[in-house]
Amino acid sequence: MKFVKIPSIAIARLSVYARNLDLLDQKGVEVISSGRLADICGVNPAQIRKDLAYFGQFGVRGVGYYVQELLPEIRKILGLDKEWRLGLVGAGNLGSALLRHAEFIHGSYTFVAAFDRKPKRIGATIGGVDVSPLEAMSRLVKKNGVEIGVIAVKPTWAQDTADLLVKAGVKGIMNFAPVHLQCPSQIFVENIDFGLRLERLFYRLTPPQSKRHRVHMKSGWVIAPK
């Protein structure tokens, strides 16, 4: 038995490969060379081969990849061969955008419930999903088979929301609040934090302030005096 660690960046790249293979498939492309696929995905061909090698042998030497063979394999690896059932908490601006999502997220999922603590939002239907009170969460998560809770509430409510979702029985949480959530170890949490990404951009656009450091902004290399 051999142990191999699959870096999460490799998983992100698999998602990118799947998207582009999907587009190629829609265009009727049947076979693609690893060089061409790499170009489209913005990586190098060796990277694609390495990422795929974690999961088995794909592609034909001297030919490339058969789109209709590789795509379903990657979809299976990523868990995109089933429809995931999502429940949203927080039907404000961002939450509503997520429910009406189509342009920004494309994947194998569907929102089957939405919750909000504000009475004025309860009873609304957004993107085809009814907004229910928090009190209904436990019941609706079970009834509708919600697997993943999506947190789009204010930071001050995020931890309480996570606790409620875990108690209701979700397996994973997608957190849009800029808060470090404390969850039991068997719950998978992914954070999407706009602020962190914006600040990374600010940092890269900021000329180094200190005379003690000069930073090559594009590469992230710092030239330090010692």
Residues 69-128 touching its own copies, rule: CB under 8 A, are 76-80, 84, 92-94, 96-98, 100-101, 103-109
Question: Footprint of its own copies on residues 30-49 (CB under 8 A)?
Answer: 41-42
CA 186 to chain centre: 18
Site for its own copies in 3-22 (CB under 8 A): 3-8, 11-12, 14-16, 18-19
State in angstroms the smallest separation of the CB of 34 from its own copies.
17
Q: Which is nearer to its own copies, 5 or 27 (CB)?
A: 5
Name the segment binding its own copies (CB under 8 A); options: 24-32, 60-68, 113-121, 215-223: 215-223
Strand partners, 173: 149, 189
Cα torsion 83, 21, 9, 33: sign? positive
Q: Which of residues 129-148 bind its own copies (CB under 8 A)?
A: 147-148
Q: Are 87 and 149 in contact (CB under 8 A)?
A: yes
Q: Is 162 in the site for its own copies (CB under 8 A)?
A: no
Least separation in angstroms between CB 217 and its own copies: 8
Considering the complex, what minimum distance in angstroms separates the CB of residue 136 from its own copies?
Answer: 23
Contact 151, 175 (CB under 8 A): yes
Q: Letter for the amino acid at 219? A: S
CA distances from 109 to 25, 59, 90, 114 (A): 20, 28, 18, 14
Please give the size of the binding site for its own copies, defined by CB under 8 A: 86
Instruction: Provide the minimum distance between the beta carbon of 154 and its own copies in the complex, in angstroms, as a whole number.
Output: 5
The reply to whether 176 sits near its own copies by the rule CB under 8 A is: yes
Q: Does 224 bind its own copies (CB under 8 A)?
A: yes
Identity at 23, one-letter amino acid code: L
Here the tokens at position 53 are 């090698």
Q: How far is the CB of 4 from its own copies (least distance, A)?
A: 5
**Helix (H) or strand (E) segment spanning residue 186:** none
Q: Contact with its own copies (CB under 8 A): which of 69, 138, 178, 183?
A: 178
Q: Within 10 A of 175 (CB to CB), how many other CB atoms are there?
A: 24
Is residue 152 within 8 Å of 165, Cβ to Cβ? Answer: no
d(CA 28, CA 124): 41
Kindly state whether residue 160 participates in binding its own copies, applying the rule CB under 8 A. Answer: no
